[in-house]
Amino acid sequence: MIYTVTFNPALDYVVWIDALRPGEINRTQSEAIQYGGKGINVSTVLSALGVENVALGFLAGFTGRALEEGLHNLGIRTDFIWLPEGLTRINVKVKGGAETEINGQGPTVGPTALRTLQDKLDRLEPGDILVISGSVPAALSHDVYEQILARLEDRGIQFVVDTTRNLLCSALPYHPFLIKPNNLELGEIFGKAPVTDTEIRHCAAQLQEKGARNVLVSMAGDGSLLVDERGGCHRLGVPKGKVRNSVGAGDSMVAGFLAGWLETGDYSYAHRLGTAAGSATAFSDGLADREKIMALLKTL
């Protein structure tokens, strides 16, 4: 079973307008409510690909109830922890020329709620996959990723970690099955953004030396590069299509990679399906569906 953890889920209120004009009334052309948070994005695309999973995280208030109901309507299993105060955040995504985002803070996650999450994760079994991704709410300790991984170490659980800089580096000693930095995040880690494939591969190899098993580096329109634990290096560009949305593309790539690897055990195929899933989301107004993903897979 795959479990995803989202520390700070969100209802994303997405609006499309001709152009954002600050200081004036802006009227929408269309609008939608989407269910956001990196782990939730992974769960959504996994479910679209027919891969069973459970979404965990923290919810609060009427916005949390709306998010949970929406995920259930999509057929996604959840096991959220309910907080006694606050509201699950609402993020506003404005699509008008350049993308503009206004992200809410979300409720406070206290130590009791964190212990409840740890108790749930203690029930994972050997062979399960745990996906932890995104930032950590301010109320939680900066080493919360490390706490979770240390608690589950040596239990045969596969870890997937998709986050930035210190959070990512602190996870490496626990030998995550997959990490997915982008090339800019590699620059934050190593002090200089890699440009060439050789430089990216060198950075990925250093992350493997520190403990990562498979390193998938996304590079937006320049494609992606995978260095796998068997010594293989896989390079893919992106399929043709018009970019409509940048939100969730990286999470979709993680979901596609996991779905492909679980299906075949082949890293090359997993990379291709991950690329197709990430691109399908980038070419959609929301997260990609199975039909779009499989159509793009045929072009890779």
Residues catalogued as catalytic: 251
Tokens of 290: 């199975």
CA–CA separation, 185 and 168 (whole Å): 10
Neighbouring residues of 73: CB distance < 8 A, sequence distance ≥ 6:
none
Distance CA 7, CA 37 (A): 8
Distance CA 64, CA 71 (A): 11
String of b and e for 225-237 (b: at least 16 CB within 10 Å)? bbbbeeeeebebe
Tell me how crowded residue 142 is: count the other CB atoms within 10 A of its CB. 11
Distance CA 231, CA 214 (A): 10
Using only the alpha carbons of the chain, give its radius of gyration. 19
